[in-house]
Amino acid sequence: MNTCGLHCLTISDIGVTADGRQLLQNIGLHVHCGELTAIIGRNGAGKTTLLRAILGEIPHTGTVSFSGHNGTPIVGGKPRIGYVPQTLAVDRNTPATVYDLLLSLTGRYPVFFHKPRKLVENFRAHLARFHAEDLLDSAIGRLSGGELQRVLLAAATMPTPDLLILDEPVSGVDQSGLQEFYDLLDTLKTQEDMVILMVSHDLPYVRRHADKVLLLDKTVQAFGTPDAVFGSDAFHRLFGGESV
């Protein structure tokens, strides 16, 4: 499918204060579906704080609004949001499986019931989009970093969200799993009607694959195409001679 281009996330004048410290101020952002927007910045720049503000997890000033498929703001209800965290704290000895994780998202069947064949087929078909169909019955605690992140990405897109937020999604993933995960993001970007917002320290990937880049240091330092942001005075001031 082709993305509609009408889904958009608009952030206006977001500010966050905690313990008397200004963590974010005057953040403005406007992004569309069909694009991958990356948020970059040094440690402590406020990247995860901004995500938490968008998710409504912390108090903030300013507004966060979202437009649906027809381009008009969603009023009253909230957009469907999928979220992939940096890590998921899982006991390696937990008996919970990928099937149990996906089942918990449906709220339809207690895990001790038999597995309805149609549901298993649907789960396996969805996981196949993320090269994870063989992991359905695997214990979550035994997955590799790359396998777990693919499963979490599958879970975050079931059903397809309006907004997909990824907070350092490849943290702890080995090199062999990086490209596979990034390829999956490229596919989602071009085939699904969702806004994708990602915090990343992987600057070479951001430069190659992001459509827009927000350079953050408590406020917006630069925003635009990767070439424009990476070539900006603000980037060189914050990252020095780092090669990307």
Q: Under DSSP, is residue 167 helix (H, G, I), strand (E, B) or coil?
A: strand
How far apart CA 231 and CA 215 sit, in angstroms, is 12
Would the pTM count as exceeding 0.85?
yes
Q: Quickly list DSSP for 2-22.
A: ---S--EEEEEEEEEEETTEE
β-bridge mates for residue 48, sequence order: none
Amino acid at 224: G
Dump strand ranges (E) for 80-121: 81-84
Pairing assessment for the beta strands 8-18 and 61-67 based on DSSP bridges = antiparallel
Contact 141, 94 (CB under 8 A): yes
Q: Give the number of other Cβ atoms within 10 Å of residue 211's Cβ.
A: 15
Helices (H), 157-217: 175-191, 203-209
pLDDT of residue 3: 47
pLDDT of residue 203: 93
Mean pLDDT by 10 residues, the chain (244 residues): 61 93 94 91 94 93 78 63 81 85 77 78 95 94 89 92 89 76 88 89 91 96 96 93 62
**Residue 236 neighbours by CB under 8 Å, 6+ apart:** none
How far apart CA 76 and CA 119 sit, in angstroms, is 32
Q: Give the number of other Cβ atoms within 10 Å of residue 201's Cβ.
A: 14
* All structural domains of the chain with their residue ranges: 1-80+199-244
Q: CATH number of 1-80+199-244: 3.40.109.10, 3.40.50.970, 2.60.40.10, 3.40.50.300?
A: 3.40.50.300
pLDDT of residue 72: 57
Residue 85: cis peptide before it, omega within 30 degrees of 0: no
**Residue 118 neighbours by CB under 8 Å, 6+ apart:** none
Both tokens of 50, joined, read 């901004």
pLDDT of residue 193: 79
Q: Under DSSP, is residue 169 helix (H, G, I), strand (E, B) or coil?
A: coil
pLDDT of residue 77: 54
pLDDT of residue 189: 87
32 backbone φψ class: left, alpha, beta (φ>0; ψ -120 to 50): beta
Both tokens of 153, joined, read 């990405």
